C-alpha cells in the first residue's frame, strides 16, 4: 500500500524543510520526500507501464501544510484503574484527532506504573487497541510516594522513555538527587512536577487578589519556582537529565533561562492553557479551569510566550488530564485538577504563529521534534525511512470548540465555545489514514 | 427590584440593590416589634435550610425569618442525611429542589458552592456562608445596624479586626461597606491580612492602637482556635495581647464608637467581657436585625422575575 501526498507545504524542522512538495509513503514508512514525485508507475504484472497504480492512494494537499506527526510527552490515559475518565483506546483516538501520533502517558494510574508489569500491560493494551504510539513514563518512586526509587532500569527495558512522579513532586531532595544520579545509567530524563507542597498547602488556584476575593486557597507562583530551582541545582550536582513539566510562571521561566545559560542539562515544557488563558477563567468557580499548576496571571502568560520564543521552553505538551463529568460537577475545592487537551492543543498553539511568537517551523519543533529528541525516540520527523507519521493541516479552517463532541471521554475544557483556526484534517499513523 | 433569583454575595449586588434590601428590612423590623410578628407575604412557599457546616445562630435566624414570612421550613441537617452515604452535593440539592423548595439557604465549607447550586437549580439560592468567600446576609445586617445607630454609612471610619484572610464575614463587609462609602481599615497580624487586599480600597494596620484611633465602628472577628499552630500566630495569648479589644484600646476610638461582633465570641481573646456586655456593644441588636434583613432578602428574591 502506497500513499502519495502531493503539492503540500512540507514543514519538517528535522531536515530544515519548508517547501512545496510531495511525500511518498510505502509500507508504513516514509519512502521519499521531494519537490515532485512522478505518479507511481510500477511494472504491472504483464509488464505494462502507465497511470497510477490502483494500490496508491493520492492525497491532494494543495494549500495544506504537511508536518510530521506530533509528539505529546505529557498525557494521562488513565488506564489501568480510571477507565471511566479515559482509556488507552479513547485517549489515543483523541490524540490522532488532535494530530498526535506519539503520546507519553504519565504513571499516576491505579496501580501506579512503578514496575515493569504495569508498563508491559500498557504497552500490550496500546498495541492491541491504541490508535498511535504509546510510550509510558514510569514512576520515579514506588507508589509515587517519594520514598524509595522504583525499578527504573527494569521499566526502561520494558519500554518506559522517561520517569516522573507527575501529579506529585518528589519532596525529599535526597531521593530526587538519587533519581537524577541513578537514571544516568539508563540515559533517561527525569521529569519534575515542580511544586513545593508545604508552600502550596492545598491551594486550588493561583494565589493573588483573585484567590482572596473568590475565597479559594491560593498556591503561590513561588511554590513552583522553588522546586524548579532545587531540581536544577540537583541536576547540576549530579549531571542527570532533567525535564521540567508544565511551566506556568514568569519566575520559573527566568530560573530555567538562567540555568540554560550556565549550561545545565535541563529542558522544559509548557501547555497551551498556560499561554492562552489566565486565572480569570476560574471566576464563577468554573472547575474546568481548575488545573495543577494553576492558571496564572497575564504577566505570566507573556513570560511563557517569551520563553517559547527564545527557546527557554523547548516543548509544548498537553498535560491531557481527562475527568468524568460528575467529578468536575462539584465543589471547586474537591473537584480534580486537569484539562482535556489533546483535541484543542494544536489550534491553540497555532495562535502563537498567528501572533508571530513562533514560526510554523518552530511550532513543529516544540510539538514534535524537541520532545522526540528529549526522549531519544525516532519520531517527530519526515526523514526517509522513519515511520510514516504524517499530519496534514488546514491552517485556514475555522471551527468552534464543542466539548461534547470530543472523542476523549474527558469533556473538561475551559475552551468550550472558543472559535479557533487551523486544525489537522488528516492524520497518517504508520501509513494508516485517519480523515476528518 | 433585585436582578437575580439568588443572593450569592455582596460582590454580585449593586449599591441600589444593597440599599433596597436595607430599606425593606426597616419595614420588617417594625413587624418584628409588633405583638403578632408574622406576615403572610410568602405563604405557601417552602424554605430549606441546607447546612453543611455546624451553625446555630445563622440557621435559627434564617428559620425564624422564613417562618415570620409564613413559609414552610425544613432543616436539612447533614449528619443524618444521605450525604454521609456518599451522595454528591448536586444530587442532594436536586433532591431538595424536587421536594418543592422555593428557597434554598446554603452553608458550606467550600467557596463557590452556592454559585454551583444557583447555576443548576431553579430555586432561589441564598448564601449563608461559603468557605472563605462571603457571608452576605451578615454584612447586610451589619450595615443595617450601623445605619440604624449612626444614621449613615458614607464617610464613617470602620475597622475590622482579626483573621481577615479566612473570614467570609470580613470579605462581605469590605465589599458592602466600601460600596456604601465608608472608609474601611483592616487590623490584625500580617499573616492574617493578605497584602493584595489593599487593592480593594482599604487601609491596613498591623498595630492595634494605630488602627483603632478615631474609628466610628469596630467590627471584631472571631479568632479560630485551629489557626493557632498553623503558623498564623504563635498563641491565642499573644494574639490577645496584641490585637484583643480592651478598654484602654477602645478609648482611642471616637467617643460614640459602636462595637460589633458576628459571634460566636471568644471572650477574653478578641474581646473582653466588659466591652462585649458594655454600653458601646450592639452585638445583641445585630442578632435581632439579622431576622429583619433575612426577611427582606427572601421577600425581595420572591419578586424577581424568572
The tens digit of pLDDT for each residue in A321-358 reads 999 999 999 999 999 999 999 999 999 999 999 999 99
How far, in Å, CA of B274 to CA of A250, rounded? 52
Q: Which residues in chain B (148-177) have CB-CB distances under 8 A to chain A?
A: 165, 168, 171
* B292 and B162 share one domain: no
How far, in Å, CA of A248 to CA of A261, rounded? 20
Closest residue, chain B, to A213 (C-alpha) = B133
Task: Give the structural domain span for B81.
Answer: 15-133+287-301
Q: Angle, to 10 degrees, between the axis of helix A250-262 and the axis of helix A298-309?
A: 30
pLDDT at B83 over 80: no
The pLDDT of residue B157 is: 98
**Domains of chain A, start order:** 2-66+387-435 (2.30.40.10), 70-375 (3.20.20.140)
Closest residue, chain A, to B133 (C-alpha) = A215
- B21 touching chain A per CB within 8 A: no
Please tell me the distance in Å from A222's CA to the nearest CA on chain B. Answer: 16
Per-residue pLDDT tens over the stretch B38-51: 999 999 999 999 99
The pLDDT of residue A147 is: 97
The pLDDT of residue A50 is: 46
Mean pLDDT of A404-422: 98
* B152 and B94 share one domain: no
**Whether B260 contacts B217, CB under 8 Å:** yes
Is B294 a domain residue? yes
* B145 and B274 share one domain: yes
* B34 and B119 share one domain: yes
Are the Cβ atoms of B88 and A326 closer than 8 angstroms? Answer: yes
Is B200 a domain residue? yes
* B116 and B225 share one domain: no
* B123 and B192 share one domain: no
Per-residue pLDDT tens over the stretch A9-62: 999 999 999 999 999 999 999 999 998 988 865 554 554 444 556 789 999 999
* B140 and B278 share one domain: yes
* B272 and B193 share one domain: yes
Beta strands B46-51 and A29-34 are: unpaired
Q: Angle, to 10 degrees, between the axis of helix A221-238 and the axis of helix A250-262?
A: 10
Mean pLDDT of A162-178: 97
- B135 touching chain A per CB within 8 A: no
Q: Which residues in chain B (195-234) have CB-CB distances under 8 A to chain A?
A: 196-197, 199-200
Per-residue pLDDT tens over the stretch A99-123: 999 999 999 999 999 999 999 999 9
A258-265: list long-range contacts, CB under 8 Å, 24+ apart.
Answer: A259/A232, A259/A235, A260/A311, A260/A312, A262/A236, A264/A232, A264/A235, A264/A236, A265/A235, A265/A239, A265/A240, A265/A241
Please give the DSSP secondary-structure letter assigned to residue B206: S
Mapping DSSP to helix (H, G, I), strand (E, B) and coil, where does residue A414 land?
coil
The pLDDT of residue A382 is: 98
Are the Cβ atoms of B200 and A213 closer than 8 angstroms? Answer: yes
- Least confident span in A101-115, A258-272, B83-97: B83-97
Is B219 a domain residue? yes
Find the angle CA(B229)-CA(B162)-CA(B186) to the nearest 5 degrees: 135
How many folded domains does chain B comprise? 2
B168 is catalytic: no
Whole-prediction pTM value? 0.94
Is B4 a domain residue? no
How far, in Å, CA of B245 to CA of A404, rounded? 56
**Whether B182 contacts B158, CB under 8 Å:** yes
| Chain B residues in contact with A334 (beta carbon < 8 A) | 110
The whole-chain average pLDDT of chain A stands at: 96
* B166 and B217 share one domain: yes
| Burial class of residue B14 (count of CB atoms within 10 Å of its CB; 0-12, 13-18, 19+) | exposed
Is B262 a domain residue? yes
**Whether B112 contacts B46, CB under 8 Å:** no
The pLDDT of residue B200 is: 87
- B96 touching chain A per CB within 8 A: no
Is B306 a domain residue? no
Interface with chain A: mutation pick from B78, B112, B118, highest number of A CBs within 10 Å: B112
Are the Cβ atoms of B112 and A285 closer than 8 angstroms? Answer: yes
pLDDT at A2 over 50: yes
- B134 touching chain A per CB within 8 A: yes
**Whether A61 contacts A392, CB under 8 Å:** yes
| Closest residue by Cα to residue A270 from A299, A230, A240, A300 | A300
| Burial class of residue B44 (count of CB atoms within 10 Å of its CB; 0-12, 13-18, 19+) | exposed
The pLDDT of residue B81 is: 63
B58 is catalytic: yes
The pLDDT of residue A40 is: 65
pLDDT at B248 over 80: yes
pLDDT at B80 over 80: no
pLDDT at A86 over 60: yes
* B112 and B167 share one domain: no
The pLDDT of residue B227 is: 74
CATH code, B270: 3.40.50.1370
Q: Which grid cell sits at A31?
A: 519512502
Is B89 a domain residue? yes
* B30 and B104 share one domain: yes
Interface with chain B: mutation pick from A202, A212, A325, highest number of B CBs within 10 Å: A212
* B22 and B89 share one domain: yes
- B88 touching chain A per CB within 8 A: yes
B24 is catalytic: no
Distance set, CA A69 to CA A23, A149, A163, A353 (Å):
14, 33, 23, 18
Closest residue, chain A, to B132 (C-alpha) = A215
Is B115 a domain residue? yes
Closest residue, chain B, to A216 (C-alpha) = B111
| Chain B residues in contact with A201 (beta carbon < 8 A) | none
Amino acid at each position: 500500500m502506497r500513499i502519495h501526498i502531493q503539492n503540500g507545504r512540507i514543514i519538517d524542522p528535522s531536515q530544515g524543510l519548508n517547501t512545496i512538495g510531495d511525500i511518498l509513503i510505502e509500507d508504513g514508512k516514509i519512502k521519499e520526500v521531494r519537490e515532485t514525485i512522478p505518479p507511481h508507475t510500477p511494472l504491472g504484472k504483464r509488464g505494462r507501464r502507465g497511470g497510477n497504480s490502483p494500490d496508491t492512494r493520492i492525497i491532494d494537499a494543495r494549500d495544506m501544510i504537511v508536518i510530521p506527526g506530533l509528539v505529546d510527552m505529557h498525557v494521562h490515559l488513565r488506564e489501568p484503574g480510571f477507565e471511566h475518565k479515559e482509556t488507552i483506546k479513547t485517549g489515543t483516538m483523541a490524540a490522532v484527532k488532535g494530530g498526535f501520533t506519539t503520546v507519553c502517558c504519565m504513571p499516576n494510574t491505579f496501580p501506579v506504573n512503578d514496575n515493569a508489569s504495569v508498563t508491559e500491560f500498557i504497552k500490550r493494551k496500546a498495541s492491541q487497541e491504541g490508535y498511535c504510539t504509546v510510550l509510558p513514563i514510569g514512576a520515579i518512586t514506588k507508589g509515587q510516594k517519594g520514598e524509595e526509587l522504583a525499578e527504573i532500569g527494569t521499566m526502561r527495558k520494558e519500554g518506559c522513555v522517561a520517569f516522573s512522579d507527575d501529579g506529585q513532586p518528589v519532596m525529599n531532595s535526597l531521593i530526587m538527587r538519587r533519581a537524577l544520579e541513578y537514571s544516568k545509567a539508563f540515559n533517561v530524563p527525569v521529569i519534575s512536577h515542580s511544586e513545593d507542597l508545604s508552600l502550596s498547602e492545598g491551594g486550588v488556584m493561583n494565589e493573588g487578589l483573585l484567590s482572596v476575593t473568590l475565597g479559594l486557597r491560593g498556591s503561590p507562583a513561588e511554590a513552583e519556582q522553588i522546586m524548579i530551582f532545587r531540581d536544577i541545582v540537583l541536576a547540576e550536582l549530579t549531571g542527570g537529565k532533567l525535564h521540567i513539566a508544565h511551566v506556568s510562571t514568569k519566575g520559573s521561566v527566568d530560573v530555567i533561562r538562567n540555568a540554560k545559560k550556565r549550561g545545565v542539562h535541563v529542558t522544559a515544557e509548557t501547555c497551551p492553557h498556560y499561554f492562552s488563558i489566565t486565572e480569570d477563567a476560574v471566576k464563577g468557580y468554573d472547575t474546568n479551569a481548575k488545573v495543577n499548576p494553576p492558571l496564572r496571571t497575564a504577566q505570566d502568560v507573556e513570560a511563557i510566550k517569551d520563553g517559547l520564543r527564545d527557546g527557554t521552553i523547548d516543548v509544548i505538551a498537553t498535560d491531557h488530564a481527562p475527568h468524568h463529568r460528575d467529578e468536575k460537577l462539584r465543589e471547586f475545592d474537591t473537584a480534580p485538577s486537569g484539562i482535556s487537551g489533546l483535541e484543542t492543543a494544536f489550534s491553540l498553539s497555532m495562535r502563537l504563529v498567528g501572533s508571530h511568537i513562533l514560526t510554523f517551523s518552530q511550532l513543529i519543533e516544540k510539538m514534535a521534534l524537541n520532545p522526540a529528541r528529549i526522549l531519544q525516540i525516532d519520531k517527530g520527523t519526515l526523514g526517509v525511512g522513519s515511520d510514516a507519521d504524517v499530519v496534514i493541516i488546514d491552517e485556514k479552517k475555522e471551527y468552534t470548540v464543542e466539548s461534547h463532541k470530543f472523542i476523549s471521554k474527558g469533556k473538561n475544557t475551559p475552551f468550550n465555545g472558543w472559535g479557533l483556526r487551523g486544525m489537522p484534517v488528516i492524520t497518517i499513523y504508520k501509513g494508516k489514514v485517519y480523515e476528518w | 427590584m433585585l436582578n437575580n433569583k439568588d443572593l450569592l454575595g455582596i460582590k454580585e449586588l449593586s449599591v441600589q440593590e444593597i440599599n433596597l434590601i436595607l430599606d425593606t428590612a426597616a419595614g420588617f423590623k417594625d413587624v418584628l416589634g409588633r405583638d403578632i410578628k408574622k406576615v403572610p407575604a410568602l405563604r405557601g412557599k417552602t424554605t430549606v435550610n441546607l447546612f453543611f457546616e455546624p451553625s446555630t445562630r445563622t440557621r435559627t435566624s434564617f428559620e425564624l425569618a422564613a417562618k415570620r414570612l409564613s413559609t414552610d421550613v425544613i432543616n436539612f441537617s447533614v449528619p443524618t442525611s444521605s450525604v454521609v452515604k456518599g451522595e454528591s452535593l448536586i444530587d442532594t440539592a436536586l433532591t431538595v429542589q424536587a421536594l418543592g423548595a422555593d428557597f434554598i439557604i446554603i452553608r458550606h465549607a467550600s467557596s463557590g458552592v452556592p454559585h454551583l447550586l444557583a447555576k443548576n437549580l431553579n430555586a432561589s439560592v441564598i448564601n449563608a456562608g461559603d468557605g472563605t468567600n462571603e457571608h452576605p446576609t451578615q454584612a447586610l445586617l451589619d450595615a443595617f445596624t450601623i445605619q440604624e445607630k449612626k444614621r449613615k454609612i458614607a464617610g464613617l471610619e470602620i475597622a475590622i479586626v482579626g483573621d481577615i484572610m479566612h473570614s467570609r464575614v470580613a470579605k462581605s463587609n469590605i465589599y458592602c461597606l466600601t460600596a456604601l462609602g465608608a472608609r474601611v481599615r483592616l487590623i490584625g497580624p500580617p499573616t492574617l491580612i493578605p497584602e493584595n487586599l489593599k487593592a480593594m480600597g482599604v487601609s491596613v494596620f498591623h498595630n492595634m492602637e494605630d488602627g483603632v484611633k478615631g474609628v466610628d465602628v469596630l467590627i471584631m472577628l472571631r479568632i479560630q482556635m485551629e489557626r493557632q499552630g498553623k503558623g498564623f500566630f504563635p498563641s491565642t495569648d499573644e494574639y490577645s495581647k496584641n490585637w484583643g479589644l480592651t478598654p484602654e484600646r477602645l478609648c482611642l476610638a471616637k467617643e460614640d464608637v459602636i462595637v460589633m461582633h458576628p459571634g460566636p465570641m471568644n471572650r477574653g481573646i478578641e474581646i473582653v467581657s466588659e466591652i462585649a456586655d458594655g454600653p458601646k456593644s450592639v452585638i445583641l441588636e445585630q442578632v435581632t436585625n439579622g431576622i429583619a434583613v433575612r426577611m427582606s432578602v427572601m421577600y425581595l428574591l420572591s419578586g424577581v422575575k424568572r
